[in-house]
Structure 1
Amino acid sequence: MDDATRGKLQIYAVENVDSASATCVVRCVGGIVRAGQQFTDESAAGSPGDRARMSLDWIERYGRRVEFIDPPNNGRVQLTGDGVTSLMKGAVINAVE
């Protein structure tokens, strides 16, 4: 997956977060993002291979669950994994292969 087609989400707000999951308001800023994809935080320190992965469990738009989101649309998502505790407004997360 090259950078031009890689799904990217920018975090607008973190609504709920615990040690395992986070619900966030996001804007799609690249590619097509699909439920089930794995992500890493672009703004996290370290090399890309060392960054914690997060899984995108679901996407919601206008109160309905959808399978994908594309630019420049926004929505709510639930992410799970080790990296969710470090998510903050403005962070960009990238889909990984």
Structure 2
Amino acid sequence: MTPPASELQIYSVEDRSPGTATCVVRCVGGVARTGRRFTLHSPTDAPTPPPLLTLDHINCYGKPMEFLDPPHSATVRLSGEGTDSLTKGIVLTSAETDDP
């Protein structure tokens, strides 16, 4: 059985620079792990595939973490071409799942 995709909902964007963003997120599905790549939800008829974002760092209550699971929140650093599109309420979905 394939584990569910990881989903992170953006609560706020705390800092943004070209290609990176620091956000407060809540894990709303699956287990999000550092190094995992995420996509922004986009219409199925979009002319180009959605940009990929990499989850570079998870910080939960001042401690670096390797993963985040529901219903926990954390500050995360994301990198990639889609960081300019991040706003409150957007849900990111993992582009791959863990192998059992």
Flag whether TM exceeds 0.5 (same fold): yes
Q: Does 1:96 align with 2:81?
A: no
Q: Does 1:63 align with 2:43?
A: no
Quote the residue 2:35 is aligned against. 36
1:34 Cα deviation from its structure 2 partner: 0.2
Structure 1 residues 31-63: Cα deviation after superposition (integer angstroms, max 9, x where no partner): 000000000011x3427x700000000100000
1:18 Cα deviation from its structure 2 partner: 1.6
CA separation in 1, counterparts of 2:52 and 2:58? Answer: 17
CA separation in 1, counterparts of 2:13 and 2:4? Answer: 25
Query: What is the count of residue pairs matched by the alignment?
Result: 94
Considering only CA atoms, is the larger Rg found in Structure 1 or Structure 2? 2
CA separation in 2, counterparts of 1:21 and 1:85? Answer: 9
Query: For 2:18, what is the secondary structure of its paired residue?
Result: coil
- 1:1-97 equivalences under 5 Å are 5-42=4-41, 44-45=42-43, 46=46, 50-97=49-96
CA separation in 1, counterparts of 2:54 and 2:22? Answer: 12
Query: For 1:85, what is the secondary structure of its paired residue?
Result: helix
Gaps of 5+ in 1: none
